[in-house]
Amino acid sequence: MQIEQLYQKYLEHPNVITDSRKIEEGCIFFALKGASFNGNEFAKEALEKGAAYSIIDEEKYKSSDKCILVENVLECLQKLAAHHRNQFDIPVVAVTGSNGKTTTKEILFQVLSKKYKTHATKGNFNNHIGVPLTLLDMPLDTEMALIEMGDNHVGEVIELCKYANPNYGFITNIGKDHIEGFGSFEANVRAKSEIFDFLIKANGTAFINSQDPILKNMARRFEKPIFYGDEYDFSNLTFLGASPFIKYKDRQETVVQTQLLGAYNFENIQTAFCLGKYFEVENNDIHDAISNYIPDNNRSQFLEKGSNAIVLDAYNANPSSVEAALENFAQFETEKTKLVILGDMFELGDISAEEHKRMIDIALEKDLDAIFCGERYTAHKTDKAQFFESRDRLLAYLKNNKIENSLVLVKGSRSMKLEEVLDYLG
């Protein structure tokens, strides 16, 4: 079936679902293949549960006319998403980077929603499946779209751009994330810049944090990039501190108290502010959106439990974000004992050993009490801190050794699930 024909069916049934356990009446089920299941096997069940159509790529599962056989279901999903996106003549902003994509996207979503009917990536749906699903979720009356793009190898962002066809975009920052897949930091820089390769060809606009030397250098490729972060830029903000939450002021001396922890979040705020100004959202509305945004899902959350205060930052970890978190944590003013609980950083490839050792050195240089969890950290064990080979061992220790009256930073890669320590902190 041609994409245009399928698109007509989608317009009648604009609800795409990829999990037969979550079927909604009148949706279209796309039978994807995964590590454990072949979605084709659930095509019939999806129809029985109320799906209008099932899109399959194995003929033997064609149980009725409502099963639409295509060459490859994933590619079909991607093409349909690109086709849908191309029906819109609106600003589509692509967001990529090593750290802070979701946070920046969420703040910016709040900012742009003050003026426009904005559609944005939900959660972290940022890959070759998530971006197409995000696009297909975009209602026809959308006025502005914000599409998050994640990557862990070269060539991924340019593919995502082909589906999303952005006309605006920015890179939050480029750090030492996912080096296993990129091969090196330099390759990561090249990979992230694919968003700019696309925008240049599409005659699009890049927003550039002028305080970031790598991004500023990349800006030279654009005729008219939109800079922010410099005192001469049209959207300049002044950082007034983060103790623990960021406070800033704008050019009119309006002081804004946010609910965002960590000096590193200031660049995320600046980006959202810049795009808000560029797209002519009222100043007060921008500040209102930023000040009301509260991070969730283990991303720099501030919690109090018993006598402890906790910076829960256990969503992910790489050397750049751990270093930023340690810098920030060391500067917190508190009467409490400061303790960092760091879990292994994943997907770092060749730089893994040296970077785990470096994070230990940074924490100890800053004179912080420190607990390290995971075999990557334990490989560099010293007697100046505590080391636990696994999360279970750490949890068993915390169960019998209560932490009290402490300010605790918890940060580790997703697979470490370090948020589980919360149950034992107060």
Ligand X SMILES: Nc1ncnc2c1ncn2[C@@H]1O[C@H](COP(=O)(O)OP(=O)(O)OP(=O)(O)O)[C@@H](O)[C@H]1O
Ligand Y SMILES: CC(=O)N[C@H]1[C@@H](OP(=O)(O)OP(=O)(O)OC[C@H]2O[C@@H](n3ccc(=O)[nH]c3=O)[C@H](O)[C@@H]2O)O[C@H](CO)[C@@H](O)[C@@H]1O[C@H](C)C(=O)N[C@@H](C)C(=O)N[C@H](CCC(=O)N[C@@H](CCC[C@@H](N)C(=O)O)C(=O)O)C(=O)O
Ligand Z SMILES: C[C@@H](N)C(=O)N[C@H](C)C(=O)O
Closer to ligand Y at the Cβ: 8 or 297?
A: 297
Binding site for ligand Y (CB under 6 A): 18-21, 32-37, 39, 42, 123-127, 129-130, 133, 150-152, 156
Q: Report the distance separating Cα 295 and Cα 262, nearest Å.
A: 12
Contact track, ligand X, 224-243, x by CB under 6 A: --------------------
Cα angle value 281/107/308 (rounded, 5°) = 140
CB of 359 to ligand X, least distance (A): 13
User: Residue 277 annotated as binding?
Assistant: no
Q: Report the distance separating Cα 200 and Cα 167, nearest Å.
A: 9
Can you point out the beta strands (E) in 9-167? Answer: 16-17, 28-30, 53-56, 67-69, 92-96, 118-120, 144-148
Beta strand pairing status for 369-373 and 337-343?
Answer: parallel
The site for ligand Z, by CB under 6 A, has a size of 8
User: Residue 105 annotated as binding?
Assistant: no
Closer to ligand Y at the Cβ: 20 or 172?
A: 20
CB of 100 to ligand X, least distance (A): 3
Contact flag: residue 102 with ligand Z (CB under 6 A): no
Q: Which residue has the tokens 């909604």?
A: 24
Q: How far is CA 93 from CA 84, 109, 163, 174, 337, in A?
A: 16, 11, 13, 18, 43
Which range binds ligand X by CB under 6 A, 261-269, 362-370, 382-390, 393-401?
261-269
Which range binds ligand X by CB under 6 A, 64-72, 202-210, 310-318, 353-361?
310-318
Which of ligand Z, ligand X, ligand Y, none is residue 264 near (CB under 5 to 8 Å by kind)?
ligand X
Which of ligand Z, ligand Y, ligand X, none is residue 347 near (CB under 5 to 8 Å by kind)?
ligand Z
Contact flag: residue 150 with ligand X (CB under 6 A): yes
CB-based burial, 211-246: b 16+ in 10 Å, e otherwise: ebeebbebbeeeeebbbbbeeebebbbeeeebebeb
Q: Which of 100, 169, 343, 374 binds ligand X (CB under 6 A)?
A: 100
Contact assessment for residue 426 and residue 307, using Cβ atoms and an 8 Å cutoff: yes
Q: How far is CA 391 from CA 313, 384, 421, in A?
A: 16, 20, 8
Q: Which of 110, 121, 258, 316 binds ligand Z (CB under 6 A)?
A: 316
CB of 14 to ligand Y, least distance (A): 18
Query: For the chain, how many helices (H) and strands (E)?
Result: 16, 19
Contact flag: residue 264 with ligand X (CB under 6 A): yes
Contact assessment for residue 160 and residue 87, using Cβ atoms and an 8 Å cutoff: no
Give the footprint of ligand X on this chain (CB under 6 A): 97, 99-103, 124, 150, 172-173, 264-265, 267-268, 299-300, 313, 315-316, 320-321, 324-325
